[in-house]
Structure formats: C-alpha cells, structure tokens
Structure 1
C-alpha cells in the first residue's frame, strides 16, 4: 500500500501506502521519522489545502495537522478497521464523506466542508482514490464512490495514467492507487481508457518499469516518473500491486502454493512481453526481494543529505506487494522484520502507519492483534473515535449506529456469520473485476 514516501524518494506518496517524496516542507515534517507515513501529495504554497484547524474536527483520526494527509489517513484507518471486522464510528465515516467536493474529487483537507470547492481547491487523485477504496469497502456510499470514480476518469492522462495533481505528468504511484480504487469500485481497470489514444491504466503504469535495457540490478524496478528515471522501491511496491489490479487490501497469500520469485527474463527478446501486467508485477516483486535480501529484510530511504536508514512504511508496502503476487514465503521475511521494528514508528506516526501494518499483516494471514507483541487493531482504534460496535456494547450509545437505530450484539454476530458464508462469492466476484 503505498501511501507514503520518505523524503529521500523522488516520488509522491500514494500508496498504500509511503509514496510522494516531492511535497511541501510542512508535509515532510510529519514524515521526519524513518519511512514516516506522510501525505500523498505535494502542494504549491498558492494551491494548498485548507489551512490547518485550531481544533481537530470531530471524527478525524490522528492528532497531527491534517492539512496534507487528512483524507488519506482517515481512509486508510477506516479501511484497515473494516478489513479486520471492526465497524468504524459513524462520525469518522461522516467526516470522510463530508470532505468530498461536488464534482466527486477529494482534497487532503477541507476546514470548511460546508463551503463549496472552487477552482483554487487542490483536488488530489491520491486522496480521492484512497477515499474510494475505504467507502467502497464500508458500503452504503455508492453515490459518493461513483462520483469520485467519475472524477478520476475525467482526469486520466492521455498515456492512460494519473498524476497526483491533475494536469501534471503521470507517475507510477498515483496510477497504481487509482487502479486500486477502480477495482474496489467494481470497475474493470482495463476498460477505463484515455480519451485520446484509448490507453488503459496498465498501458500507463507499465511505461514506468525499467526493462531489459536497464542495468542488471535495476531490471524490473519501477521509476516514479519517466523524467529522471531511476529505480524506486516505493514506486515498485505500489506498481507491483497495481499491475495485478489490486488496491490496499490484498487477500492473504497461500504459502502452501507459494509462487517463486522470478526476475525479468531478458533472454530471447524478453521485452517482447513488456505489455503484460502480470509479468511486470513479477519483475517488480523480484526487484523488491533483491533489495530486501541485500538490506536485512527492510527497504532503505534517506533524508536529503543524510545516510540511508530503514524505511518502515515502504517495507510494509513491499510485504503487501509480495503477498499480492502470491509470494507468501518471500513476504514473511520482511514481515518478521516489521514485527520487531515497526511498533515505535507506528506509534509516532499514527493512524495511517498503524493501518499500513494492519494491511500488511492481513495480506500475509498474520494476526494484527498479536503483531510482535502489539495489538495493532486496538492501537489503531485508539487514534480515532471509538468504533461503533464497541461503543454500542460498552456504553449503549446509539449515536454511532447506522440508520439512527441501535445495534444489538446478536445482530452483529448474525452479520458476522452471514459475511463468513458469503466470502467465497465476494472473492470470486472481486477477481472477475480486477482486469
């Protein structure tokens, strides 16, 4: 998942996960910790989101300034809770829905959601795509999801990809997170084509992969943008997931049927299949494994002018990417590193960081409630309003229930059983819509 890049990256944060490195200094300050989960977009001073509030809004997750990552961190928090069976507080969901502009787009933060978005509102594909994934998973927000998807389609670049800010050159991270949003909304990404040229999101994404003409140790990696192309682990983790039509939530990899990690085959005209998304994802995964093996099962990043240091957020995204490719055994190695080293990072960086770890644990079939001695779910819940189900059970407060009515314990149990019975159908349906 790539929402979050360290300052060393030349890329935007989107994904799930550590993505954009080109961002305002104020946004980067929130990412000062190693591999911090920071905001996904870079903003010019004259086109920034609403000024930070003196008092944080009701329902918002986290305690830090939401000016650059409010929607992003809220979306990841809600999505991670839903993924592990926690029903988020209604106030948290209302806050996210209330951030949407009338045209369907989201910006990082709107201090006055009752005030209409205008031409100066910095609409952001990363924040919008993250919100789509969260609201689609939660259900009951079909209109908001479809409006957001419509806006994303309207700002698709001619090459089939997206940039964080409409009108800019496409990048691997933004294109990947939008692919995840399209799939989550029930769209078939391959059928979403640019108005000029009819390019698909996969056409755009695969242009960022370094192929057989690159140096041997760089083949398979993705660059953030074509200008100044260079291997970027952050972009690679995002693209390896996006190329498979997957978003932040990846179903657990089956280690018993573990797919081998194979570098790009550059023999006998290996680039002849460079338009194959699955091949591209496999090549990206191979690059990630090589980097992880070289650095003690974690990825590296560095602040400008500083020595390289462990990047926790990107390592979590790499775990998700490997799991998405069916490389359960390979994903398990960096996951163990995270279990030993990620707790302090998440505690300092808040909801988006906890969410990344929850989603990495989920993708590998690991219990996020017992993650290196930490209950990630409880820690995530503590960063925002009390989850609805917990509030109902503990206090009898019906304020955070849907449709204005209370929800009893037996109703929750019944829904859980129904969900369990329908998982096979849902997974089958989701797979059909990924390509």
Structure 2
C-alpha cells in the first residue's frame, strides 16, 4: 500500500478551503540536505520532516513492533506529542506547544498511520481513540476520505483510514456517512472490467468523472478492500488472473491484485509516476505492490517483485530513510522473508540506526530518557546515529518473528 506521501495527496492537502498553496517539494524525491526545521531527537530520519514527519515515524514504529523490536520511549512520546487537541495529526508540527488552529493542515494519512503504529504498540488507547473519533468526524458522504478534512475522497486515503479503523478495533463496514461505508467509496474508484486497465483503482475521478488506473492507488485499494493495514500478512484468498464484476470489496481486491500482477510481470517492478520519469523503477510502489499481492493471493504471487526488491532496493532505502526501510520490512514479512537478511541487508538494523536506539530487553525506560537528555546536550557517545533520510513525495510505504507481530491489533 503506497502511502509515501504521493504528489497527488500532497496537492490535495494544499487545497483546503478552495485556496491552493504550492507544495514546494511535492515533485522532488531527493533528500533534503538542509532541513528547514531542526530535527527533534526522538524523530527517525534526518531529512526535512515538514511533509512526512509523523508518517515516517509511524511507519518506523510499526515496522519495529512487527519484528519484535521495542522502540525508544522518546520516539513514541514524540509521535503522541504531535497530536492535536481534536485528535487529528498534522504531517508535522515543529512547535507542539502552540495549539492546532484553523491554519494547521490536518492529515488523514498521517493520523491513520499514527493510529496503526500506536495500536500495535499498545497502551495508547486514549490517543488512538481521539484520532479515530476525528477520522469519523471528517468522513465524506460517499463513505471515503481525502487527504485533508473536506477534500474529495481518494483510494489511498480511504484505504489507510480503513487500516486504522481495523487496527483500533472498529468495523470499517459499519463506519458510515450518509449510509455509505468506506468500501462503497473504494468500489466507486475501481475501474470496470470492460475498459482499459480493468480492475485497477483510480486515485480520484478526473474532472469529467472518468477513472484512470493508478498503480499507487491500486496497491492501496487492494489492502483497503481487504480491510488490512500497512503491515498486512499473506492471505489465502484465491488469486484471480482476470477481472470480474466487482460487486464486493473482496472481488475488487482480487481484480486490483490481478492488475498489479500484470504490471510487474515483465520487469518485476512498477515504474515511477513522476512526470518525465516514466522509465524509472518505483521502489516504494513496488514494495507496496508486494504487500498487496501477498495479502490478496499469498506470498508466491509476489515472488517476482520481491526478488527484484531484494536485488535492487538496498541503495534506495539507504538514501530514503526510515519509511523506505519500513516498507521493505512490510514486504518481507508479508511474504515470509527474513527482514534481517533481505538480499544481504539487515533491514531491521538499518531502520534502527535512523533514530533513537530501541530499548534493549528489560531495559529501564528512565535510562533511555537519561541518554536522550545527554544527546540533546551534545553527547555523541549515546549510540544514536542518523543516516541520510529523504522526504519521499514523488510518485506520491518469517519464522520466529511472526510471533511478535500485531500484538496490539484487535480482531
């Protein structure tokens, strides 16, 4: 499910209340060498967090929990501290002492990612409960969600909200507005089988109401239609090879997976949706497609794109930072692949190195807090290292490990 801060989503976030605000970095996938804000000590990644701080933190914490790593207390505190009084999360708040107001750009994607991470970690029911309450309050009349409150529904946002609702113990099909559920919104964004790219999902309808296939939205839509979150496990549903009339969410998911399978059949990867970059492999979308394919039709269906990622994605993840490592960890876990040896890379170790050191087994959190204080004072010997992170907005994320997955998720 590619929720890597898509360019379309960021554009939607910039159009709140009818006034368009340029998003300067929306088309630039390169790392920010000189962040416009200071990087907080509890935050993962070293790139500018303005548009993805909560997003990358949530994915990092969710991925760590999925592999049995206990995140640093300060990392969890940083995330919970980003919440607004009404329960929503913005993409990033540099000054959390200042209350959220009408100018704060609230973000359904960031809010939903935070809910999934904090629900998995457990013990954050007050935070997740308020967040879910806010998400319900901004549901659109078609049953779906847009990037920002009041913006038109899109497949990516609707799908990640579904994952958040499920993680928090809600039944997404029963969360309705005007009689419509989130699944109704997704079915409305599924391309009919009798047309070009039948079975894929569109991000949003175009100005004339038409639907255009979008691989990013399709990976998201498959997981959303299945009621799954970012860390979905391999499913056992029959994998369809052809599109069939999508009258149920399950059939829409099967159709979407069939489209993705066809899209990666030749080269093993999806291509970038960035203007002028059509021939460039899209690592993030490919990782999300692996999770979607495995969740719908089993790990074997995702074998080819998974192998491509194992052979090619290490450099991309190193450059891109915590969210990218998390996406690859989700792809590994969904297919029963060892994330500590993913094409020769220890994804868990690399993710952990992008932020505050995780808690060791039995470690007292007070010691972690003391170490964090020393770090803020300039002590460089506390084991905290940062790698070059990236604000990924272009095109815009087992064996013994399974026992530690989703311990905070309710059925």
- Judging changes above 3 Å, is the alpha-carbon distance between structure 1 residues 292 and 28 closer, same or farther for their aligned structure 2 residues? same
Deviation, structure 1 residue 388: 1.1
1:225 is matched with 204
Task: Point out the more displaced range, 148-157 or 203-212.
Answer: 203-212
1:397 is matched with 367
Deviation, structure 1 residue 258: 7.6
Q: Is 1:365–2:336 an aligned residue pair?
A: yes
1:124 is matched with 107
Deviation, structure 1 residue 177: 0.4
Instruction: Answer yes or no: is the 8 Å Cα contact 1:129–1:180 preserved in 2.
Output: yes
The Cα offsets for residues 85-135 of structure 1, whole Å up to 9 and x where unpaired, read as 000000000000000000000001111112110111000100000000000
Residue of 226, 229, 235 corresponding to 1:244: 226
1:169 is matched with 152
Cα distance in structure 2, aligned partners of 1:85 and 1:306: 37
- Judging changes above 3 Å, is the alpha-carbon distance between structure 1 residues 118 and 128 closer, same or farther for their aligned structure 2 residues? same
Cα distance in structure 2, aligned partners of 1:128 and 1:190: 19
Q: Any unmatched runs of 5+ in structure 1?
A: 15-21, 39-51, 266-270, 402-416, 431-435
Instruction: Answer yes or no: is the 8 Å Cα contact 1:5–1:314 preserved in 2.
Output: no
- Judging changes above 3 Å, is the alpha-carbon distance between structure 1 residues 348 and 174 closer, same or farther for their aligned structure 2 residues? same
Instruction: Answer yes or no: is the 8 Å Cα contact 1:297–1:333 preserved in 2.
Output: yes
Cα distance in structure 1, aligned partners of 2:338 and 2:106: 36
Deviation, structure 1 residue 5: 5.8
1:205 is matched with 186
Q: Scaled by the length of structure 2, what TM-score is found? A: 0.84
Deviation, structure 1 residue 303: 2.9
2:379 is matched with none
- Judging changes above 3 Å, is the alpha-carbon distance between structure 1 residues 155 and 380 closer, same or farther for their aligned structure 2 residues? same
Instruction: Answer yes or no: is the 8 Å Cα contact 1:11–1:225 preserved in 2.
Output: no
Q: Scaled by the length of structure 1, what TM-score is found? A: 0.79
Cα distance in structure 2, aligned partners of 1:58 and 1:180: 29
Q: How does 1:97-136 map to 2 (within 5 A)?
A: 97-136=80-119
Deviation, structure 1 residue 69: 0.2
- Structural RMSD (CA): 2.9
Instruction: Answer yes or no: is the 8 Å Cα contact 1:5–1:313 preserved in 2.
Output: no
Q: Is 1:345–2:316 an aligned residue pair?
A: yes
Residue of 145, 169, 173 corresponding to 1:186: 169
1:276 is matched with 248
SS of residue in 1 equivalent to 2:200: coil
Residue of 64, 71, 78 corresponding to 1:81: 64
Deviation, structure 1 residue 302: 4.3
SS of residue in 2 equivalent to 1:389: coil
- Judging changes above 3 Å, is the alpha-carbon distance between structure 1 residues 109 and 424 closer, same or farther for their aligned structure 2 residues? closer
